Amino acid sequence: MSRAIIIANALCTAVLLAVAMLLASCTHARAQVVRVGSKAFTEGVVLGDVLARTAERAGAVMEHRRSLGGTQILWKALVRGEIDAYVEYTGTITEEILAGAGATGPADVRAALAREGIRMSAPLGFNNTYAIGMLESRARALGVRAIGDLARHPELRLGLSNEFLDRRDGWPGLSAAYGLGSMSVRGLDHDLAYRAIAAGEIDVVDLYSTDAEIAYYGLRVLADTAGYFPRYEAVILYRAALDSIAPAAVAALLSLEGSIDERAMIAMNADAKLRKVPESDVAARFVDSLHASTPSASRRDDSTSASTSPRSGRTDTASQIAERTVEHLGLVGISLFAAILVGVPLGVLSSRVRWLGQLVLATTSVIYTIPSLALLVVMIPLFGIGALPVLIALFLYSLLPIVRNTFVGLGGIAAPLVESAIALGLSPRARLRRVELPLALPTILAGIKTAAVMNVATATIGALIGAGGYGQPILTGIRLDDMGLILQGAIPAAIMALAVQGLFELLEHLVVPRGMRVSPPAARRT
């Protein structure tokens, strides 16, 4: 077993190295003065970059935690102090964040926010309201001009963003206001809905009024004759503590009040979404147009978009892939290592105490059946955003294959072998260490390999809450309809999964005698 010990030590060293690199990355992030967050849509990311680059001019060191998800994720992260500022919309604040608080006017809203330790800027200068749209040609053919006209056409297919479907100011209230409850509705990602309506797969979508796709796809914005949608003025929400921590940065952020009109916001969205200009570059150009000085280079940018410079693009892409690889290895390595430390002893205990074994296997099986996205969302209120909730979710998912294979491996040992060990006078501990675990090792390794490969794939969802990894370019690529960015995350993830599989195959070859190796069913003799 000396070779097994050597290999195990090598694996532990690799995992600890990944942990150290991840902790170094986290420490660097914690050293930042101001952390800006953004929602998972293009306008939110662009505005996050605008905030960060503006504060840089005041000498602040910035971190932009981009594409963190929807309203509730950003709001809770702000209240917990995991981010310091982000751009929100007044209609969302009153209808979603402060629902039930009775906050109607600006003074009420500011007072309610202040009770949470949050302050609000004056409007940035544009109203990005919700709207409902159809292809102009389709709307003209059916004579649909207003939202209420949809009730005459129950055959129309609605594709609405997932957040809009559940918001107080979204579909439930809209359908009641216009009598649309009988229409066929399906939830879609906001950006994918535009492609679906252009392809004729759906007929009606929800819009943000500053979306560049409205003009690009030739959509008709249906009149809101009932005045259902409130105004959604873009504002900056920031922690009150930021006034004392970084007063110059706050002053710089507040200088953006009234500086972004609707035309400017639509133009920035068009540059990012339609012309494929990196969002950081779009923001830099806008900030440059407001200020004569050169932008500072002190911001830590989590952008997944490569530089547009021909000379630097390849280097930037390579460095971004390397950074994502470190993040992804950290997520996979730490969660797997913890699952091995817990899962193997649990499997051993389960094989000794049968009733406990059934309970443990049932519990880990139930956890395993929970959709990964749902489990991640459950973790956010408990552990916030970032790497920790992702690590815990991956750890829980890894337990079942490790516990089950340990349980099965130990339970499958032939009775005469165990009886021989007992006859030799070996204690239960010595019997486990010298006989049972070595005999069960092929099955245990197979379970660990399954957990490792699964973790590589599942860890991509961590990008939804700012944990980084290969999911970051994948999500950005989906949002921007950029296949290059999608492949920038998907291909390395596939390569890592294959590498992990190969590593465990090699480990099994080195430490497990040929006659004891687990073979695919097709390769076994019958």
Which pLDDT does position 250 carry in this prediction?
93
CATH code for position 148 = 3.40.190.120
Are 153 and 94 contained in the same domain? no
Are 360 and 264 contained in the same domain? no
Are 511 and 406 contained in the same domain? yes
Determine, yes or no, domain membership for 390: yes
**What are the pLDDT digits (tens) for 117-138?**
999 999 999 999 999 999 999 9
Determine, yes or no, domain membership for 77: yes
Determine, yes or no, domain membership for 57: yes
Which pLDDT does position 180 carry in this prediction?
92
- How many CA within 13 A on the CB side of residue 489? 28
Q: Which of 397, 412, 415, 414 is nearest to 518 (CA)?
A: 412
Is residue 131 within a helix (H) or strand (E), and if so which, with residue range?
strand 130-135
Are 173 and 137 contained in the same domain? yes
Determine, yes or no, domain membership for 19: no
Task: Answer yes or no: is pLDDT of 26 > 80.
Answer: no
CATH code for position 261 = 3.40.190.10
Residue at a domain's end among 277, 303, 329:
303
Residue at a domain's end among 194, 221, 248:
221
Residue 519's pLDDT band, with cuts at 50, 70 and 90, is low
Are 66 and 178 contained in the same domain? no
Helix, strand or coil, per DSSP, at residue 146: strand
Is residue 238 within a helix (H) or strand (E), and if so which, with residue range?
strand 234-239
Are 289 and 344 contained in the same domain? no
Residue at a domain's end among 157, 186, 221:
221
Determine, yes or no, domain membership for 308: no
Which pLDDT does position 370 carry in this prediction?
84
Which residues constitute the domain of residue 466?
A: 2-11+317-518
Are 457 and 339 contained in the same domain? yes
Residue 466's pLDDT band, with cuts at 50, 70 and 90, is confident
Are 280 and 358 contained in the same domain? no
Specify the range with the lowest mean pLDDT, choosing from 211-220, 299-308, 479-488. 299-308
Q: What count of other Cβ atoms lies within 10 Å of the Cβ of residue 182?
A: 8
**What are the pLDDT digits (tens) for 350-380?**
888 888 888 888 888 888 888 877 888 778 7
Kindly state the tokens that stand for 101. Answer: 């608080």
Which pLDDT does position 101 carry in this prediction?
74
CATH code for position 480 = 1.10.3720.10
State how far the Cα of 391 lies from the Cα of 398, in Å rounded to an integer: 10
Are 176 and 83 contained in the same domain? no
Which pLDDT does position 1 carry in this prediction?
43
Are 332 and 478 contained in the same domain? yes
Determine, yes or no, domain membership for 23: no
Are 209 and 257 contained in the same domain? no
Q: Compute the CA torsion angle 13, 15, 18, 22 (nearest 10 deg).
A: -120
Specify the range with the lowest mean pLDDT, choosing from 233-237, 252-256, 500-504. 500-504
Q: Which of 135, 170, 272 is nearest to 212 (CA)?
A: 272
Task: Answer yes or no: is pLDDT of 11 > 80.
Answer: no
Are 94 and 188 contained in the same domain? no
Task: Answer yes or no: is pLDDT of 513 > 70.
Answer: no
Number of domains in the chain: 3
Q: Which of 134, 163, 193, 86 is nearest to 479 (CA)?
A: 193
Determine, yes or no, domain membership for 271: yes
Which pLDDT does position 292 carry in this prediction?
60
Q: Which of 401, 411, 262, 387 is nearest to 326 (CA)?
A: 387
pTM confidence score: 0.72
**What are the pLDDT digits (tens) for 157-184?**
999 988 888 887 889 999 999 999 888 8
The CA R_g of the chain, rounded to the nearest whole Å, is: 27
Secondary structure letter of residue 307 according to DSSP: P
Determine, yes or no, domain membership for 526: no
